[in-house]
């Protein structure tokens, strides 16, 4: 037996709905409540930008070897707590070496004067440290490096201002040479600028795009504004609450997370508003009293919408199993936003519609709005097509998804942050100059850390280890002299690889380099040796290992969450299996198409290292929404119709609104493609593509075809309560003619 409608919901909830939506006065109270909450939180919370943590999101787990090595470097070597800016100077003309040397002298002098930025702690150049010329001057002597450590946090405005001042001074003193400021300080500053410039464009584009689509769907200005106002309230409450939690150290929020939150709330919020208002228009056919019609609409959509929101929230919390800061810190803030959006959708949206009265349907009027809620003719034809040939439809869709998945043959990841900027930056130009003049590995040297129980300063072991490292596979050079830590038991070697330090080959080389160093230390007689490697290559190797581990756990947990929600919603063991299978197919096809488009067509260096995990979590959590909407409606229709007619009726009745919702959700994620960041561009493309697959292939064709094939067993072990004679294959779901209705209650 199928469960009764709303059996998953508590009666207390529906009593609350009746009270809140019983009249215009009560509706006005609900709207005022949300506006007041948003205003109070805005006054109490710090700005979200002031509490964003963009540094930890790009680091490996704190317990990883590279982070332990970084901590030893900072603890044992004086002055390592500052973030270095690297000025690269390339001479021009026939006497490039002399022009580069003169420019370095002028830049060093400017950064050593009292007028230099206060956060510049020192200057390391051939002028101040002549002994370091071998590392600071290129082989052809036409280029030189100047290292400028800058104190403070890279996320602070004062730090970014100091980097800008260094750039200005270097440019002013460069003369005829080419100069660029890069290094960790330059990269961090450029990252903030790239994100800051893109956010405003993204928000404006999202609002305009959603407004245009809503106007086309509703054909009513006021009704189109309702979802946008609801999203605005939810976004304000979510951002301020998130800022308070981040300020208290409970959650972390990064610029990327904030960008994704924007499009997620616009997409999900308008989806929920569309589902509720569609049922409201449908209810107006039989119930002219608007408050009662809205109560019916909320009651009939509550189970599916709350199941959808719960799936997304639980999927976001599933990210807490991750050890990668980029994934672990991603979930709680987005889960908060979706939960708030669901509450706003079920209270603010219905209340605002009731408060606006008949004007919300202007200029078409109530009757035309209600008529549009009955389902368009195109969905009758699609339902009939699926009913006539479910095997051919399912086979065609699966074959198409498999072909799209073939793009995965070219899949590989990128760990180079700078190559991910889709706009020109000075730090990227500086990195390119260093690679051309000094070699591939010079843009990101590694630090090999050897730690012993004995004092190494008085033994020949340290020199022997350094000499052996210079002969190791994949090593271009080793710094001339090792540096000893304050305790004498720790020695540090600067090692430059002969590989692109961000490439997969370089990441693969970290483990063998560590083992080779340990073997050399043992051969040199160093007892109880601990070998660690610091630097960007080692950190990326640890990030890759953590992401590989996290992705496996997250995939299994998210699939378990989605399956459990579907089992509870549908009271079925079979349906969740084939519905989840469609999601997996959709994900593989989406990732294959994204790989082909961004790598083969656009020429990206690789898929962003976190994109795959993000796409899986979001595409499964959001893609299941449309399966939930059609299957929950199918379950309702089964009370009066045979399964074949019930799935056709469900497809017909949900076709227009769910397709509109999917189009909006895809469009909002597509806005991320305006961002000048590779990861956000790829994520936005993948989500838009995958949502369109779910909206126009999986939900209207593949899922109904599978239901037709399983027939009475589609919701096994539940069985239809009213089995009927099967309809003829070409027979679409019946659409009752609209009966004359009394004028709606105001």
In order, the DSSP letters of 313-333 are HHHHHHGGG--SHHHHTTHHH
Query: Strand runs (DSSP E) across 425-545, as ranges?
Result: 446-451, 475-478, 483-484, 490-497, 530-534
Query: Are both 235 and 181 inside the same structural domain?
Result: no
Residue-wise pLDDT tens digits, 410-460 = 999 998 877 777 778 899 899 999 999 998 888 889 999 999 988 888 888
Where a domain ends, among 491, 520, 541?
541
Asked if 718 contacts 570 with a C-beta cutoff of 8 angstroms, the reply is yes
- Tell me how far apart the alpha carbons of residues 65 and 63 are, in angstroms, rounded to a whole number: 7
478-504 CB burial, b ≥16 within 10 A, e <16: bbeebebbeeebbbbbbbbbebbbbbb
**According to the model, what pLDDT value does residue 5 have?**
43
Where a domain ends, among 308, 340, 373?
373
- Tell me how far apart the alpha carbons of residues 338 and 342 are, in angstroms, rounded to a whole number: 6
Asked if 356 contacts 348 with a C-beta cutoff of 8 angstroms, the reply is no
∠ at Cα 434 (431, 435), nearest 5°? Answer: 85
| Any domain includes 203 | no
**According to the model, what pLDDT value does residue 683 have?**
94
What kind and span of H or E run contains 84? strand 83-90
| Any domain includes 406 | no
Query: Are both 291 and 242 inside the same structural domain?
Result: yes
Domain span at residue 355? 9-60+219-373
Query: Are both 47 and 105 inside the same structural domain?
Result: no
Helix (H, G, I), strand (E, B) or coil at 109: helix
**According to the model, what pLDDT value does residue 135 have?**
87
Query: Are both 228 and 183 inside the same structural domain?
Result: no
DSSP 8-state symbol, 677: B
CATH of the domain at 101: 3.30.70.100
Residues 6+ apart with CB under 8 A from 2: 571, 635, 638, 639, 715, 718, 719, 720, 721
Quick one: tokens of 636? 């309702």
| Any domain includes 430 | yes
Residues 6+ apart with CB under 8 A from 590: 404, 615, 619, 686, 689, 690, 693
Query: Are both 281 and 368 inside the same structural domain?
Result: yes
Q: Name the one residue in this structure whose structure tokens are 């005022």.
A: 32
Asked if 485 contacts 72 with a C-beta cutoff of 8 angstroms, the reply is yes
**According to the model, what pLDDT value does residue 742 have?**
46
Where a domain ends, among 541, 572, 597?
541
**According to the model, what pLDDT value does residue 410 have?**
94
Question: Which among 476, 482, 496, 474 is positioned nearest to 451, based on CA atoms?
Answer: 482
∠ at Cα 327 (321, 332), nearest 5°? Answer: 75
Query: Are both 25 and 149 inside the same structural domain?
Result: no
| Any domain includes 107 | yes
Question: Which among 640, 659, 650 is positioned nearest to 575, based on CA atoms?
Answer: 650
Q: Measure the N-to-C terminal CA separation of the chain; round to a whole number of Å.
A: 40
Residue-wise pLDDT tens digits, 593-619 = 999 999 999 999 899 999 999 999 999
Residues of the chain with pLDDT under 50: 1-10, 724-746
- Tell me how far apart the alpha carbons of residues 150 and 120 are, in angstroms, rounded to a whole number: 5
Query: Are both 49 and 89 inside the same structural domain?
Result: no
Query: Are both 367 and 465 inside the same structural domain?
Result: no
CATH of the domain at 253: 1.20.1640.10
CATH of the domain at 482: 3.30.70
- Tell me how far apart the alpha carbons of residues 240 and 253 are, in angstroms, rounded to a whole number: 12
Query: Domain tally for the chain?
Result: 3
Give residue 197's Cα distance to chain centre: 18
Give residue 633's Cα distance to chain centre: 31
Q: What is the CA radius of gyration of the chain?
A: 31
Asked if 518 contacts 531 with a C-beta cutoff of 8 angstroms, the reply is yes
- Tell me how far apart the alpha carbons of residues 291 and 381 are, in angstroms, rounded to a whole number: 34
Query: Are both 367 and 238 inside the same structural domain?
Result: yes
| Any domain includes 86 | yes
Report strand pairing: 607-608 vs 413-414: parallel
DSSP 8-state symbol, 681: H
| Any domain includes 703 | no
CA trace torsion 397, 403, 405, 409 (10° rounding) = 170
Query: Are both 111 and 156 inside the same structural domain?
Result: yes
- Tell me how far apart the alpha carbons of residues 511 and 311 are, in angstroms, rounded to a whole number: 39
CA trace torsion 619, 620, 624, 625 (10° rounding) = -50
Residue-wise pLDDT tens digits, 258-312 = 888 988 898 899 888 888 888 888 888 778 888 888 888 888 888 888 888 899 9
Query: Are both 454 and 518 inside the same structural domain?
Result: yes
Asked if 271 contacts 658 with a C-beta cutoff of 8 angstroms, the reply is no
Helix (H, G, I), strand (E, B) or coil at 90: strand
**According to the model, what pLDDT value does residue 194 have?**
74
**According to the model, what pLDDT value does residue 131 have?**
86
Helix (H, G, I), strand (E, B) or coil at 565: helix
Asked if 367 contacts 722 with a C-beta cutoff of 8 angstroms, the reply is no
| Any domain includes 640 | no
Question: Which among 556, 661, 545 is positioned nearest to 616, based on CA atoms?
Answer: 556
Residues 6+ apart with CB under 8 A from 716: 572, 573, 574, 575, 710
In the chain, % helix, strand, coil (3-state, to 5) comes to 65, 10, 25
Query: Are both 460 and 501 inside the same structural domain?
Result: yes
**According to the model, what pLDDT value does residue 4 have?**
40
Quick one: tokens of 684? 């936005």
Q: Is 528 exposed, middle or buried (0-12, 13-18, 19+ CB in 10 A)?
A: exposed
| Any domain includes 135 | yes
**According to the model, what pLDDT value does residue 1 have?**
36
């Amino acid at each position: 037996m199928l469960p009764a409608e709303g059996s998953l919901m508590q009666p207390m909830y529906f009593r609350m709905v009746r009270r809140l939506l019983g009249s215009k006065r009560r509706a006005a109270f609900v709207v005022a409540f949300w506006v007041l909450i948003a205003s109070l939180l805005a006054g109490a919370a710090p700005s979200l930008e002031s509490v964003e943590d963009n540094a930890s999101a790009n680091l490996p787990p704190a317990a990883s070897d590279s982070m332990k090595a970084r901590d030893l470097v900072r603890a044992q070597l004086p002055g390592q707590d500052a973030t270095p800016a690297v000025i690269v100077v390339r001479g021009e003309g026939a006497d490039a070496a002399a022009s580069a040397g003169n420019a370095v002298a002028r830049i060093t002098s400017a950064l050593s004067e009292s007028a230099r930025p206060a956060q510049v702690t020192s200057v390391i150049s051939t002028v101040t440290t002549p002994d370091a010329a071998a590392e600071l001057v290129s082989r052809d002597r036409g280029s030189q490096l100047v290292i400028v450590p800058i104190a403070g946090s890279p996320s602070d405005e004062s730090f970014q201002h100091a980097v800008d001042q260094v750039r200005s001074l270097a440019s002013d003193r460069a003369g005829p040479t080419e100069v660029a400021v890069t290094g960790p300080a330059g990269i961090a500053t450029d990252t903030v600028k790239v994100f800051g410039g893109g956010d405003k464009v993204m928000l404006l584009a999202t609002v305009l795009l959603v407004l245009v689509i809503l106007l086309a769907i509703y054909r009513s200005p006021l009704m189109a504004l309702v979802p946008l106002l609801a999203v605005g309230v939810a976004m304000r409450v979510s951002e301020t609450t998130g800022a308070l939690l981040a300020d208290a150290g409970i959650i972390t929020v990064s610029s990327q997370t904030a960008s994704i939150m924007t499009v997620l709330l616009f997409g999900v919020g308008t989806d929920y508003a569309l589902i509720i208002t569609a049922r409201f228009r449908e209810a107006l056919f039989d119930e002219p009293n608007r408050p009662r019609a809205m109560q019916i609409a909320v009651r009939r959509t509550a189970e599916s919408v709350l199941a959808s929101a719960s799936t997304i929230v639980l999927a976001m919390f599933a990210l807490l199993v991750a050890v990668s800061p980029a994934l672990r810190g991603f979930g709680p803030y987005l889960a908060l936003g979706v939960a708030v959006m669901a509450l706003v959708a079920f209270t603010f949206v219905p209340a605002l519609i009731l408060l606006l009265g008949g004007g919300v349907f202007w200029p078409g009027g109530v009757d035309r709005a209600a008529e549009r809620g009955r389902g368009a003719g195109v969905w009758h034809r699609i339902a009939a097509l699926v009913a006539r040939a479910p095997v051919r439809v399912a086979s065609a869709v699966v074959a198409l998804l498999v072909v799209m998945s073939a793009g995965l043959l070219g899949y590989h990841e990128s760990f180079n942050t700078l190559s991910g900027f889709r706009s020109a930056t000075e730090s990227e130009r500086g990195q390119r100059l260093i690679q051309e003049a000094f070699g591939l590995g010079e843009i990101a040297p590694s630090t090999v850390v050897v730690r012993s129980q004995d004092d190494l300063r008085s033994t020949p072991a340290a020199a022997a280890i350094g000499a052996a490292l210079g002969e190791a596979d994949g090593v271009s050079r080793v710094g001339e002299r090792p540096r000893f830590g304050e305790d004498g038991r720790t020695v540090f070697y600067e090692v430059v690889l002969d590989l692109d330090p961000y490439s997969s080959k370089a990441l693969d080389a970290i483990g063998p380099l560590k083992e080779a160093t340990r073997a050399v230390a043992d051969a040199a007689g160093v007892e109880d040796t601990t070998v660690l490697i610091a630097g960007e290559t080692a950190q990326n190797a640890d990030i890759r290992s953590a992401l590989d581990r996290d992705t496996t756990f997250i995939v299994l947990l998210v699939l378990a969450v989605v399956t459990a929600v579907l089992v509870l919603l549908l009271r079925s063991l079979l349906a969740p299996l084939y519905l989840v299978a469609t999601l997996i197919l959709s994900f593989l096809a989406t990732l294959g198409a994204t790989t082909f488009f961004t790598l083969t067509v656009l020429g990206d260096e690789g898929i962003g290292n976190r994109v795959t995990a993000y796409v899986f979590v979001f595409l499964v959590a959001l893609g299941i929404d449309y399966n939930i909407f059609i299957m929950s409606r199918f379950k309702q229709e089964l009370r009066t119709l045979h399964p074949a007619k019930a799935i056709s009726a469900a497809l017909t009745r949900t076709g227009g609104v769910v397709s509109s919702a999917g189009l909006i959700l895809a469009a909002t994620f597509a806005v991320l493609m305006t961002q000048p960041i590779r990861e956000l561009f790829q994520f936005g493309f993948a989500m838009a593509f995958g949502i369109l697959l779910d909206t126009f292939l999986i939900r209207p064709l593949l899922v109904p075809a599978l239901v037709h094939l399983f027939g009475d067993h589609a919701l096994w072990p539940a069985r239809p309560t009213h089995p009927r004679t099967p309809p003829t294959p070409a027979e679409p779901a019946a659409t009752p003619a609209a009966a004359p209705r009394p004028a709606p209650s105001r």
